[in-house]
Amino acid sequence: MIFNKEIECMSRKNMEQLQLKRLQNIVYYCYEKVPFYKAKFDAVNLKPKDIKELKDIEKIPFTTKEDLRDNYPFDMFAVPMKEIVETHASSGTTGKPVVVGYTKNDLETWSEAVARLAAAAGVTSEDVAQVAFGYGMFTGGFGLHYGLQKLGATVIPASAGNSERQLMYMQDFKTTVLISTPSYALYLSEICEDMGIDPKSLSLKIGLFGGEGHSDELTKEVEKRWGIIDTENYGMTEITGPGVSGECTHKTGMHICEDLFYPEIIDSTTEKQLPIGEKGEMVLTTLVKEGIPMLRFRTKDITILDDKPCQCGRTSIRMHKIFGRSDDMLIIKGVNVFPSQIESVLMKFDKIAPHYQILLKSHGFMDTIEVLVEVENGDILDSYRKLEQLEKDIRHEIRTVLQIDATIKLVEPKTLERTEGKSKRVVDMRNKKQY
């Protein structure tokens, strides 16, 4: 089902007209309402009237996460607090979190964006949707909640954690849609098996997974274990929370709500726009947001845009799965590699479980990389020869595919840390330099 056919199937020409009109409005709005934007425009001698066509967006200075932190908590809001009806914040692992505020209209827009991606994944009003994202300042829980309700699904606001209880709800309420991070979906399948229940015997049909990336290989693994279709969606606190984009059942990339969020891809170093089809950092502009509008927000997420037609009939531009964040790209002896690429290689081996951790270490002046991977069946650990051979094979495959030399350490099943939210795959131990 297409939630908003008029918008999601709009011709390119009409979409661009709509985007331009909305961009011009939001630029005037930001300039008038947010001193931060006025100062940025004035510094480069730019006036709202200078935005005459879509490509003039390149004249607008970027906004970064640091800008939001500097304006903590509310200085980038464009409306008085009495018009803000809800606030959220990103996790803020380093320093102050980023705080965002929604007006009543913003909550409507957010719900619409999430309803579209849920419908695209095949969810209908007949479904029972269990939200295993945290409710609280994190945008994941409430975002999916509002969108699924707008679609008319029955929402179970289970929130994150308490896996046995999650499984009890899934069994007793006949949950058909699971909302979580992909790593949690995998973890939950393990717990389900440990409890002696076959995950495939439950009523689950669709996974709406987001908040972190997962490789195609991991997707297949999740689909196999649960017997479901695993769909991915994407978003971030600064733009709206979840709802920026999501996969349809054809899985040709995530359809972007382009009438709400204008996407660009830039080269992170030169900061210049790249043409459609080239890989780079995604920059997003909110076209209708009232509470805290974002002009050219640098997401740091690396992706590729695709405007080829999709069989589902939606005409919106799609984005490839995120390759990684520009700041989590690893540089190992001069070779650039994203953790997601390592995951893809690991997932090709069937004797290992889809749980791994990447340790970055320094050895003298050299950075080295060690990958801990769980074996699927602990018996292999008793056979030194077999273990050594498997480690060698994985190391060889990583070297062939990614041109990096990694030390592989196979570990007992279920010994690496599991999380209920976003997984932490990379542990950087390099600050303890040993020279």
Site string for ligand ADP, 75-114 (x = CB under 6 A): ---------------xx-----------------------
Q: Sign of dihedral through CA atoms 60, 65, 70, 71? A: positive
- Residue 212 contacts ligand ADP per CB under 6 A: yes
Within residues 32-71, the interface with ligand ADP by CB under 6 A covers: none
Element (H, E) at 324: strand 324-325
Among 8, 127, 190, 301, binds ligand ADP (CB under 6 A): 301
Sheet holding 297-303, edge to edge: 261-266, 280-286, 297-303, 324-325
- Residue 322 contacts ligand ADP per CB under 6 A: yes
The listed partner (ligand ADP, Zn ion, none) that binds 310, CB under 5 to 8 Å by sort, is: Zn ion
The listed partner (Zn ion, ligand ADP, none) that binds 17, CB under 5 to 8 Å by sort, is: none
Q: Distance of CA 336 to CAs 153, 166, 272, 371, 402, Å?
A: 43, 39, 21, 16, 9
Q: Given the DSSP bridges, would you call strands 177-180 and 128-131 parallel, antiparallel or unpaired?
A: parallel
What residue type is assigned to position 405 of the chain? D
In the complex, least distance from residue 177 CB atom to ligand ADP, rounded to whole angstroms: 17
Residue 137 or residue 380: which is nearer to ligand ADP going by CB? 137
Site string for Zn ion, 4-23 (x = CB under 5 A): --------------------
CA atoms within 13 A on the CB side of 77: 22
Distance between CA 247 and CA 244 in Å, rounded?
Answer: 11
- Residue 325 contacts ligand ADP per CB under 6 A: yes
The listed partner (ligand ADP, Zn ion, none) that binds 248, CB under 5 to 8 Å by sort, is: Zn ion
In the complex, least distance from residue 77 CB atom to ligand ADP, rounded to whole angstroms: 18
Do 45 and 21 touch, CB atoms closer than 8 A? no
- Residue 234 contacts ligand ADP per CB under 6 A: yes
The radius of gyration of the chain from alpha carbons, rounded to an integer in Å, stands at 22
List all residues 6 or more positions away from 352 whose beta carbon is below 8 Å from its beta carbon.
346, 373, 374, 375, 376, 390, 394, 410
- Residue 127 contacts ligand ADP per CB under 6 A: no
Within residues 174-203, the interface with ligand ADP by CB under 6 A covers: none
- Residue 155 contacts Zn ion per CB under 5 A: no
Q: Give me the residues that bind ligand ADP (CB under 6 A), please.
A: 90-91, 210-213, 232, 234, 236-237, 299, 301, 322, 325
Q: Give me the residues that bind Zn ion (CB under 5 A), please.
A: 248, 250, 310, 312, 314
